[in-house]
């Protein structure tokens, strides 16, 4: 069997339909994979039931198909992977890398009052649960974790996790596993070699590299694409009321996305089929033309 040299993935959260920003990420990761003869897998990040919008998963699958972004293999659903996440957490517990935390949100906010980064956990339970406290969440000890990635677009990025993220949660008080753990376990399960996603996830990538290291897993390569922002500079999302993708004119939207990624699609491509546009784009995918920025506005 030929070894897979490139396996990428797209991992939308089904909190709503895909919008232009998610298309840009999906398209970038798809083309990066296809231009290298690689596979492109699909994972649905439905880890957090209250955040799953009814019908959103189906809408995402339909939108990807309408845009010709056909994934390889079976879809991986995070909602079906609790056993694998538990096993990874158990391994981290056995190695002493995680600890039980008994603090409530209120207590964390109170002990951080007035601090520059109020969301960072102050480390209260690092040396054991205070008397009378029960374990609520499991946190990763980030002391001494200075991580670095060589992003294929954004260049070298370094972070002292203790300062930037603090000891982050891997299993929440409600028993749900955190995205940071789930993403690492799933990327390893699928044998992902290349993670191509939005620059809003750069901090997550540095945390995930640490979790990979602690679990003895390979680090994938990373490429963080610019995030599409609206006129107010906000990331397109359900919260910022970004419209869902128009499934009736995928050609036009694909060409807009390729132009925004600086891939210079020929103007007469608007009359081509979705398959022709994607074939052209895969054959003419130029990494060096991608804008090496973290935010992009289509209006600019």
Using CB under 6 A, pick the residue from 41, 136, 139, 197 that binds ligand GLU: 197
CB of 290 to ligand GLU, least distance (A): 17
Give which of 148, 119, 151, 150 is closest to 294, Cα–Cα: 151
Q: Does 139 bind ligand GLU (CB under 6 A)?
A: no
Other beta carbons less than 10 A from residue 115's beta carbon? 10
Nearer to ligand GLU, 13 or 154 (CB): 13
Measured at CB, which residue is nearest to ligand GLU? 45
Give which of 141, 175, 180, 139 is closest to 161, Cα–Cα: 141
Assess contact for 245 and 212: CB atoms under 8 A: no
Distance CA 168, CA 147 (A): 15
- Please spell the DSSP secondary structure of 82-95, one letter per residue: HHHHHHHHHHHHHT
First-residue to last-residue Cα distance in the chain: 47
Nearer to ligand GLU, 12 or 226 (CB): 12
> Strand, helix or coil at 76?
strand
CB of 157 to ligand GLU, least distance (A): 16
CB of 190 to ligand GLU, least distance (A): 11
Give which of 25, 22, 23 is closest to 8, Cα–Cα: 25
Nearer to ligand GLU, 122 or 191 (CB): 191
Using CB under 6 A, pick the residue from 137, 149, 183, 277 that binds ligand GLU: 183
Q: Does 78 bind ligand GLU (CB under 6 A)?
A: no
Q: Does 11 bind ligand GLU (CB under 6 A)?
A: yes
Nearer to ligand GLU, 196 or 278 (CB): 196
Binding to ligand GLU by CB under 6 A, coded x per residue (else -) over 88-127, reads ----------------------------------------
> Strand, helix or coil at 138?
strand
Task: Compute φ and ψ for 177, nearest 5 degrees.
Answer: -80, 145
Residues numbered 14-53 forming contacts with ligand GLU, rule: CB under 6 A = 45
Give the residues lining the site for ligand GLU (CB under 6 A): 11-13, 45, 183, 197, 201
């Amino acid at each position: 069997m030929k070894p897979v040299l490139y396996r990428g993935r797209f991992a939308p959260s089904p909190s709503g339909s895909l919008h232009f920003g998610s298309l840009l990420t999906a398209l970038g990761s798809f083309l990066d994979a296809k231009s290298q003869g690689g596979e492109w897998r699909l994972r649905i990040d439905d880890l957090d039931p209250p955040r799953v919008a009814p019908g959103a998963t189906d809408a995402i699958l339909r939108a990807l198909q309408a845009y010709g972004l056909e994934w390889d293999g079976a879809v991986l659903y995070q909602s079906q992977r609790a056993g694998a996440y538990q096993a990874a957490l158990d391994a981290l517990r056995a190695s002493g890398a995680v600890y039980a935390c008994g603090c409530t949100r209120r207590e964390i906010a109170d002990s951080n009052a007035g601090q520059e980064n109020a969301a960072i956990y102050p480390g209260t339970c690092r040396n054991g649960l205070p008397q009378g406290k029960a374990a609520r969440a499991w946190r990763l000890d980030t002391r001494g974790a200075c991580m670095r990635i060589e992003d294929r677009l954004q260049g070298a990025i370094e972070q002292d996790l203790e300062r930037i993220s603090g000891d982050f949660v891997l299993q929440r008080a409600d028993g749900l596993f955190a995205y940071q753990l789930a993403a690492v376990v799933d990327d390893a399960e699928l044998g992902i070699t290349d993670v191509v996603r939005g620059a809003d996830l750069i901090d997550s990538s540095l945390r995930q590299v640490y979790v990979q290291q602690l679990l003895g897993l390979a680090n994938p390569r990373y490429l963080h694409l610019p995030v599409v922002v609206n006129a107010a500079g906000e990331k397109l999302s359900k919260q910022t009321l970004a419209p869902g993708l128009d499934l009736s004119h995928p050609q036009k939207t694909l060409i807009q996305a390729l132009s925004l990624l600086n891939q210079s699609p020929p103007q007469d491509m608007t009359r081509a089929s979705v398959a022709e546009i994607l074939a052209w784009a895969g054959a003419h995918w130029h990494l060096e033309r991608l804008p090496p920025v973290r935010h992009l506005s289509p209006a600019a």
